[in-house]
Copies of this chain bind each other. A is one copy, B any other.
Amino acid sequence: MAVASRGTSLRTGVSARDVAEAAGVSRAAVSRAFTPGASIAPQTRAKVMKVADALGYQVNSLARGLIRAESGIVALIAAELATPYRSALLAALTERLQEAGKVAMVINTDRSDVSVERALRQAIGYRTEAAVFLSGMPAVSLAETCLRNRMQLVLINRDEERPGSVRIRLDDNAAGRTAFGALVAAGCLRPALATSKAGTPSLAGREQGFREAAREAGFAVIEEAVGMTSYETGLDLGTRLMSRAERPDGVFCTTDLIALGVMDAARHRFGVAVPRDLSVIGFDDVPQAAWESYLLTTFAQPVEAIADACVDWLATSKPATPEASLVTLPASLIWRGSVRGRG
């Protein structure tokens, strides 16, 4: 025996049966009225809709999801949600998803694996259609679990290829090369690379590109890598760089947060003028990069384009497609005031 009284929704108090009775049609007709493209006479649909509206009826997605394949739910799996870049991506994604008629469930992987595991189980329990991994590197096992449960997978800035998933990434290598070129063009003779130890594929790509371009041009690059990706490690990195006997005169930071920290350390702790004594280039184009204290020259993350690519793929691709796709987006350099002689 179930909890609610017969034919009455637990929540709204009105089910399809009620609408059917009030409209003088069958339950099936009510269902058809709410299914686009179902075979139902226009007048019947109109009548049903009118009654449904009057009664405040809403289709119960729980029941519908039990039968139909698609739940309309997509899980957004991410860490460091409060970070400028990550939050911008999350905002863009929720907006696009919503416009595509989907709904976003977010799973925060910052904390204990236990709660993440449980949250993911819960998402699976709701027959979530797809999982989007926004983070540099959440546990590989999570992706496995999603796959095993036949979710579509979208991997943003990650490395591994998986059957039936898309990877959306930027051309990080090209950006690293461009950064080196910009520094040299600004007259830098002692180029440096400042990065974290996160070891994320996107960071690695930027580092690689920068190093390659330097090698090809016959330059030695001063490298410094430390901690996690944050403003604080930028401060640390800047301090290390400026404490060297031979100070660099240009630095490519693999992230804006790092670049901003490097600038602050150089200026406030060493009295180094940017860009006069030190040219700085960042990556992400976080809002703070445009603030008047920084005016950082940096690469823009095409956040909107990433969100679009993600939602497009979800909309068009069929679940369990065998082949994996790859979308590579460009990151373009935004000139502001932190590189000598430009901007």
Contacts and interface: CB of A to CB of B under 8 A. Distances in A.
Interface of A: 2-3, 10-12, 56, 58-67, 69, 71-73, 80-84, 86-88, 90-91, 94-95, 98-99, 101, 103-108, 110-112, 115-116, 118-119, 121-127, 148-150, 231, 235, 260, 263-265, 267-269, 287-288, 291-294
A206 to B, nearest CB: 22
A111 B304 CA distance: 14
B106 A60 contact: no
Nearest to A292: B264
Contacts of A80: 91
Given A103-B107, A269-B292, 9 more contacts: A2-B67, A3-B67, A58-B149, A59-B125, A81-B91, A82-B88, A87-B90, A104-B106, A267-B293
Contacts of A63: 62, 66
B84 A106 contact: no
Contact of A150 (B11, B71, B118, B288): B11
13 contacts: A11-B127, A11-B150, A62-B63, A62-B66, A64-B125, A82-B87, A84-B87, A98-B108, A98-B118, A106-B106, A264-B291, A264-B293, A268-B292
Given A115-B98, A149-B12, A108 B91 contact: yes
Contact of A66 (B66, B86, B124, B294): B66
A268 B287 contact: no
Contacts of A265: 292
Contact of A111 (B10, B99, B118): B99
A122 B84 contact: no
B62 A65 contact: yes
Contacts of A84: 82, 84, 87
A61 B264 contact: no
Contacts of A293: 263-264, 267-268, 293-294
Contacts of A118: 98, 101
Contacts of A150: 11-12
A21 B263 CA distance: 66
A111 B98 contact: yes
Contacts of A71: 62
B10 A126 contact: no
B148 A56 contact: yes
In the A-B complex, the 5 residue pairs with the closest CB atoms? A61-B125, A87-B87, A81-B91, A264-B292, A94-B108
A69 B9 CA distance: 10
A230 to B, nearest CB: 9
Contacts of A72: 122
Contacts of A91: 80-82, 108, 110
